Amino acid sequence: MKTFVSFCIQHRFLVIFGVLLVGALGVRAAHQLPIDAVPDVTNVQVQVLTTATSLGPLEVEQYITVPVETVMSGLPRVEQVRSLSRFGLSAVTIVFEEGTDIYFARQLVSERLADAREAIPEGYGSPELGPISSGLGEIYQFEVRGEPMCEPGQADTPDCYTLMELRTILDWYVSYQLRPLPGVVEVNAFGGELKTYEVQVDPDRLNALNLSLDDVFEALEDNNANAGGGYMVRSGEQRVVRGEGLITSLDDIRGVRVATGVDGTAIFVRDVATVSFAPMVRHGAATRDGRGEVVTGVVMMLLGANSGEVSDRVRARIDELATGLPEGVTIETYYDRSELVDRTVRTVAVNLIEGGILVVVVLLLLLGNLRGGLLVASVIPLSLLFTFISMRFFGVSGNLMSLGALDFGLIIDGAIVVVENVSRRLSETRARGRAVRGVVRDATAQVIRPVLFGTAIIMIVYIPILSLQGIEGKMFRPMAIAVLSALAAALVLAVTLVPAASTWLFRGGLSEKEPILARLARKAYEPLLGLVLRFRPVVVLIAVLIFVGGGWLASRMGAEFVPRLDEGAIALQAVRPPSVSLEESVAATTRIERVLLDAYPDEIDTIVSRTGRAEIATDPMGIEISDIYLILHPIEEWTRADSKVELVERIDATLAESIAGQNFSFSQPIELRTNELISGVRSDVAVNLYGPDFAELEEAGERVMRVLRSVDGAVDVNASQVAGLPAVRIVVDREAAGRYGINASEILDAVSAIGGRPVGTVFEGQRRFSLQVRLTEAARANPEVLRELLVSAPGGERVPLGQVAQVLLEEGPAVVSRESAQRRMTIQLNVRGRDLAGFVAEAQERVRAEANLPPGYFVTWGGQFENLQAATSRLALAVPLALLLIFLLLYTTFGSARPALIIYLNIPMAAVGGVLALWLRGMPFSISAAVGFIALSGIAVLNGVVMVSYIRDLQREGLSLMDATEKGARLRLRAVLMTALTDGIGFLPMAISTSAGAEVQRPLATVVIGGLFTATLLTLFVLPAVYSWLGGMAVEEDDENEIPADMEGVEA
């Protein structure tokens, strides 16, 4: 070791240059580091979406969903296959094992899509891959707004904008310009009306002319094409021959001949139908601020992209697009992820800066050496820059979790050891000039082993965090990587840069003078230490009672997965009966927006609602469900609530008073979307009820819901709508159809005209629009008219639909949910005013006892509770293994189990302080707090090592057990205090912060600060008492394994 230190001192300029070079690379890595508010915890999944506009939920399940599930379930590394079948849509989600490359997963799924397409009947839709995005993918949302908007009945006037015109601008101008941007995977349009050329056929006019819908279909398909005729040569010139028959306008459609009448006159489309621009059949809509329907766009970010950079690019491009928009059309941004990112990054930066400053101040007060203090402080930014390099290498983004747990007090402990020992040795030898190098070399070499030992202990306790898998792993592993990288960087700097720079900074020598703060602490401690050693049994008894009390208090605490990050917005979900129409859902949502804006003008900035699903149905909601996003003002401007929890309670009460017939649940935009992608639900707790029969599922679900509503803390209890969707079934009478020679496909072709039968495409320059045939609105609403609709027979005869098919009115399922090839009903709920673990334990017991599920039906529990269970069970295995590894390290070091066990007393006492701190602040146990306990255990062990190792050194020098204990404790006071204060002070800004994102950091910091308080008291008082009582073993004078402790450093 001395040779290595000598090299660093001799080539100190090379060392400093190397450090500066690494620092420069760190600055570059910091600029390239992906930045986001929180880690992306979405599991590795691929969505397969299939649109089948004419099929109901049961048909979608039977003909599309089951074939897709079947071919996907055999893929390698598949963990789960779940699906949702709604009217016109199948959404199958294939979840892969963690660690699977997303592009490999998509390739596997893509290869199986060909098999799925073959298994799906022709004309029932073609399955496609969903966009490659995640729960954090919706990074930018905006409205395309036109002024003035057309009122009903103004659609044909040029003086206003319609929803169709605005949607066309979004689809063919705005989206086209945003999709090519790096990091943008899709721009999903929501709301407005998708333009089509619609031929609205009147059945009465068709019947009067003895025509069928097939005649109209064939006429339009045969009259909408171009042809190439090669070329002709004339007078030495070659001319291309083109035949143009494409439809280009509404008049072209009106002029298409359908048939020839009995009198020989042509019957055109205009004779049997009305031709106009009309919207595609809609399955969703968007509203905003009580103004009614609007047109919105959602920019979806590519998985793994830098959200800050992508948001900046989108914002810049939208500013550029503004100049090309028609007069009166503007793009208004209402959600920009970068605002949340900026707030959370600001929180992390402020906490780190404030913590660093406090650590340096405390260090200077206790060390009493300005030059040494500044040298130690230089390790903070340098280790942080190295951490950025490591994070780039491991693909870790900079966010609240990865950077928020860095404690500069912990990181600089090794540098403090070296600088303090160098300072003390220089003051003792009073070396000057070149003699300083030798003293620095010897002082550094003397403490390298304890520095390595201390850093190893801290690094070992973070290893269990690396073992976490799934959501908890994605959330906390980045933090462990960042902390381990910072510790490794600080260790390297402590044994290279610090001694190299010390030979320059201290070349004039040092004089030893005990700082005032250290002197005052020593004078207060010495008489108390005497009392402790005199009444050892009493002290030990008090410690045992404190530990027992802490254990009792811990057993009474609740638990949650992680505290909620305040996103500055509320996601309110409204659920209505499945039979509701889209128009009624839009009207209901508009009423909700007006009520809330009138009631909370100082709290709510804007409200945007999304009802049903978009064309790219990554979120396959029915039209009975609305996601209502409340973007909030800064909390400082609020007048009707002091916290977000209170605001949610008030909004809930307002809706209960003002809006009837709807169920509401509350979440946050990112949280809601992430929960849904991970587990298929949008709430804290999900009760999945499995069984084959819909009626039984619904009855059993009602019983389960009644039980859950009676459990204290349950709010927003809602079940997925299994039944209640009115349906018109048109069933082919095969015998009757056979008598007329009519095939089922010909009957179903006529039925398809109810929703709109595509018969071609109309081009407007680069833009393309569907050409579809549809029955009039009056015919679509009246089953009797459908029965009179004529169907063509092979002999030219026209047969009413009612003679070859039955038209039935009945009620069917609104949605069919499946998981692992079984039908399921999901009951979702949130927990408010109570810890999650305690609620679920009581709810599970009550459901088992009271729900009375029939044979073959069973429940599973999911949501955030599932994440908490998985993390807790894995930590319960990994943490003891890490502590055992530390014990073996201590045993190897001391050569005896007794001192190792005495040092281990610090861990439960530190835990008591952490538990007490959580209880005093009203915080439940969470995985964030668990990470705090893990970090705390390493610091607590280190405190014990500082004390015991020095006492054993004194015993080795010949002092008695009692004298060695008394002197060792007295001389280790500054070391213990410096460790506790620097480590604890570094977490203080994090513990008291109320800024965005502090909710997640606060439990961790609270545990560390509270635990350090009790651990320090134990180290200074209980540990000397126990050691002087039980530590009377022989100490070998020449124990080479034991670390030396003959320095006033923080870690020994």
- 811 to 266, 284, 405, 578, 725: CA distances (angstroms): 44, 22, 55, 10, 5
**Confidence band of 432 (pLDDT split at 50, 70, 90):** low
Does position 367 have pLDDT exceeding 80, yes or no? no
Q: What is the pLDDT of residues 722-766, one digit of tens each?
A: 666 777 888 889 889 888 888 888 888 778 888 888 999 999 988
Q: How far apart are CA 242 and CA 226, in angstroms?
A: 7
Q: How far apart are CA 690 and CA 858, in angstroms?
A: 6
Tell me, what CATH number does 428's domain have?
Answer: 1.20.1640.10
Domain-located, residue 315: no
Using the 3D structure, point to which of 79, 100, 132 is the last residue of a domain: 132
Using the 3D structure, point to which of 84, 106, 132 is the last residue of a domain: 132
**Confidence band of 108 (pLDDT split at 50, 70, 90):** very high
Q: Say if residue 118 is in the same domain as residue 232.
A: no
Domain-located, residue 593: no
Q: Of all residues in the chain, what percent carry a pLDDT higher than 70?
A: 94
pLDDT at 1049: 40
Q: Which residue has the higher pLDDT, 909 or 511?
A: 909
Q: What is the pLDDT of residues 636-656, one digit of tens each?
A: 899 999 888 899 999 999 999
Cβ-contact 116, 67 below 8 angstroms: yes
Q: How far apart are CA 580 and CA 773, in angstroms?
A: 25
Does position 706 have pLDDT exceeding 80, yes or no? yes
Q: Of all residues in the chain, what percent carry a pLDDT higher than 90?
A: 27
Which tokens sit at 145? Answer: 């707004």
**Confidence band of 299 (pLDDT split at 50, 70, 90):** very high
Q: Which residue has the higher pLDDT, 971 or 582?
A: 582
Q: What is the pLDDT of residues 593-645, one digit of tens each?
A: 999 999 999 999 999 999 998 876 667 788 889 999 999 998 889 999 988 88
Lowest mean pLDDT among 154-158, 613-617, 779-783: 154-158
Tell me, what CATH number does 96's domain have?
Answer: 3.30.70.1430
Q: Say if residue 409 is in the same domain as residue 509.
A: yes
Q: Say if residue 505 is in the same domain as residue 526.
A: no
Q: What is the pLDDT of residues 841-856, one digit of tens each?
A: 899 999 988 988 888 8
If you average pLDDT over residues 1021-1049, what whole number do you get?
Answer: 60
Domain-located, residue 357: no
Q: How far apart are CA 418 and CA 414, in angstroms?
A: 7
Lowest mean pLDDT among 157-166, 431-440, 972-981, 1006-1015: 431-440
**Confidence band of 502 (pLDDT split at 50, 70, 90):** confident
Q: How far apart are CA 935 and CA 927, in angstroms?
A: 12
**Confidence band of 170 (pLDDT split at 50, 70, 90):** very high
Global pTM value: 0.80
Domain-located, residue 833: no
Q: Say if residue 396 is in the same domain as residue 538.
A: no
Using the 3D structure, point to which of 813, 828, 862 is the last residue of a domain: 813
Q: Which residues contact 763 (CB under 8 A, 6 or more apart)?
A: 246, 248
Does position 266 have pLDDT exceeding 70, yes or no? yes
If you average pLDDT over residues 272-278, what whole number do you get?
Answer: 93
**Confidence band of 468 (pLDDT split at 50, 70, 90):** confident
Domain that holds residue 60: 43-132
**Confidence band of 1051 (pLDDT split at 50, 70, 90):** very low
Exposure string for 190-208, b = 16+ CB within 10 A, e = fewer: bbbbbbbbbbbbbbeebbe
DSSP 225-238: EEEEEEEEEETTEE
pLDDT at 515: 72
Does position 447 have pLDDT exceeding 80, yes or no? no
**Confidence band of 966 (pLDDT split at 50, 70, 90):** confident
If you average pLDDT over residues 1006-1033, what whole number do you get?
Answer: 83
**Confidence band of 389 (pLDDT split at 50, 70, 90):** very high
Q: Which residue has the higher pLDDT, 987 or 314?
A: 314
Q: Say if residue 944 is in the same domain as residue 1023.
A: yes
Cβ-contact 951, 964 below 8 angstroms: yes
Q: What is the pLDDT of residues 794-850, one digit of tens each?
A: 877 888 888 999 888 878 788 888 888 888 888 888 888 777 788 888 999 999 889
**Confidence band of 409 (pLDDT split at 50, 70, 90):** confident
Lowest mean pLDDT among 101-105, 330-334, 1031-1035: 1031-1035
pLDDT at 680: 64
Q: Which amino acid is at 829?
A: L
**Confidence band of 1043 (pLDDT split at 50, 70, 90):** low
pLDDT at 598: 95
Residue whose tokens read 């280009």:
248
Q: Say if residue 792 is in the same domain as residue 900.
A: no
Q: Say if residue 767 is in the same domain as residue 798.
A: yes
Does position 771 have pLDDT exceeding 70, yes or no? yes
The total number of structural domains in the chain stands at 4
Q: Which residue has the higher pLDDT, 1031 or 419?
A: 419
Which tokens sit at 434? Answer: 């070149």
Q: How many CB atoms lie within 10 A of CB 530?
A: 12
Q: Say if residue 800 is in the same domain as residue 921.
A: no
Rounded-to-10 torsion of CA 862, 864, 865, 866:
50
Q: Say if residue 793 is in the same domain as residue 922.
A: no
pLDDT at 372: 78
Does position 258 have pLDDT exceeding 50, yes or no? yes
Q: Which residue has the higher pLDDT, 503 or 572?
A: 572
Domain-located, residue 190: no
Q: Say if residue 1019 is in the same domain as residue 1048.
A: yes
Exposure string for 854-875, b = 16+ CB within 10 A, e = fewer: eeebebeebbbbbbbbbbbebb
**Confidence band of 317 (pLDDT split at 50, 70, 90):** very high
- 266 to 205, 251, 515, 660: CA distances (angstroms): 15, 16, 108, 56
Q: How far apart are CA 953 and CA 705, in angstroms?
A: 67
Q: Which of 22, 28, 116, 137 lies closest to 74 in space, CA to CA?
A: 116
Residue 689 β-bridge partners: 825, 859
Q: Which amino acid is at 328?
A: G
| β-strands 45-51, 128-129 pairing | antiparallel
Tell me, what CATH number does 790's domain have?
Answer: 3.30.2090.10
Q: How far apart are CA 112 and CA 120, in angstroms?
A: 13
Cβ-contact 142, 332 below 8 angstroms: yes
- 831 to 627, 667, 714, 742: CA distances (angstroms): 19, 11, 5, 58
Sign of the dihedral through C-alpha 633, 636, 638, 643? positive
Does position 539 have pLDDT exceeding 50, yes or no? yes
pLDDT at 721: 66
Exposure string for 585-622, b = 16+ CB within 10 A, e = fewer: bbebbbebbebbbebbeebbbbbbbbbbbbebbbbbbb
Which tokens sit at 1010? Answer: 């509270």
Element (H, E) at 612: strand 604-612
**Confidence band of 1032 (pLDDT split at 50, 70, 90):** low
Does position 509 have pLDDT exceeding 60, yes or no? no
Domain-located, residue 982: yes
How much is the mean pLDDT over the chain? 84
Does position 82 have pLDDT exceeding 80, yes or no? yes
Lowest mean pLDDT among 6-20, 218-232, 547-561: 547-561
Count of alpha carbons within 13 angstroms of residue 461, beta-carbon side:
21
Q: Say if residue 507 is in the same domain as residue 534.
A: no
Q: Which residue has the higher pLDDT, 286 or 156?
A: 286
pLDDT at 1: 64
Q: Say if residue 124 is in the same domain as residue 227.
A: no
Domain-located, residue 147: no
Does position 1047 have pLDDT exceeding 50, yes or no? no
Q: How far apart are CA 48 and CA 117, in angstroms?
A: 12
pLDDT at 930: 85
Give the angle subtended at the CA of 859 by the CAs of 858 and 862, to the nearest 5°: 155
Domain-located, residue 444: yes
pLDDT at 608: 95
User: By 3-state DSSP, what share of the chain in percent is helix, strand and coil, each rounded to 5?
Assistant: 55, 20, 25
Q: Which residue has the higher pLDDT, 443 or 496?
A: 496
Q: How far apart are CA 383 and CA 376, in angstroms?
A: 11
DSSP 666-731: EE-HHHHHHHHHHHS--SSEEEEEE-S-HHHHHHHHHHHHHHHHTSTTEEEEEE---EEEEEEEEE
Does position 686 have pLDDT exceeding 70, yes or no? yes
